[in-house]
Amino acid sequence: MINKMQWYLLKLFFHLEPSAPDVPLTDPFFCLWGLVNNASIGVPAAPNEWLTKDDFSKILNVNLLGLIEVTLSFLPLIRKARGRVVNVSSPTGRLSVFGGGYCISKYGVEAFSDCLRRELCPFGVRVAIMVPGSFKTSICPDNIEDIFKGIWSRVSPEVKKSYGDKYFKGYCQYFNKLTSQGQKNLTPATNCMEHALTAVYPRIRYSAGWDAASFILLSYLPASVADFILSLSSNAVRPADAV
């Protein structure tokens, strides 16, 4: 009988790295109580017309396909323990606010988690979705403006003419403002994770921060109303060829 718990920190990009700890998956007495999927990247992000399929794939491989791969790999151990799976989503998994693969990946995390929760319920496994608000993390690199310039440099002349340089500069300012906001104290988020892993009756969904809760409420409004509200805080510069 196992009389103690151990924590395993798994470094992953798309596949588990060879340097990851030696988790005894073949030990018949080994089981896994909890899995927290928190790996995520935020860029490349830009208006969808500026991006390529590879830009979308880069984010989806980490945020969605990587999460699915890790979860499926450990499900037999979690089912044996009647344990917990905690998937970190985002407010943008309910309401998309910018182009690129990030919002798409978080919609996918929501769908995968909902399906997984219903499938594993008969086995006594609990699946929770944790939606963090705006926190200061390393999800977007410091050289975000250089990344935008690289994306803009490869956009076709016709698309550049339609949007214009003023729109590009305005979008950079909008995204910088979007990513620079947030609280440094991560305790609200980690408290949600801890409760989802250890509580006798964990919730199905956790919202960490007032902005996460407000986005969920906003997602229930008619699409036209939500579009108008989001437009008030988006790029103030209109495209050059806007009608």
Query: Across the chain, where does the E strand assignment appear?
Result: 34-37, 84-88, 126-132, 205-208
Catalytic residue among 102, 107, 171, 206: 102
- What pairing do the DSSP bridges indicate for beta strands 34-37 and 84-88? parallel
| C-alpha–C-alpha distance, residues 5 and 98, integer Å | 41
| C-alpha–C-alpha distance, residues 193 and 19, integer Å | 25
218, two tokens:
């906003």
> How many CB atoms are located within 10 Å of the residue 23 CB?
16
User: What does each C-alpha distance from 145 to 39, 169, 171, 202 come to in angstroms?
Assistant: 23, 10, 10, 40
| C-alpha–C-alpha distance, residues 159 and 155, integer Å | 6
| C-alpha–C-alpha distance, residues 156 and 152, integer Å | 9
Please indicate whether residue 201 is annotated as part of the active site: no
Annotated catalytic residues are: 102
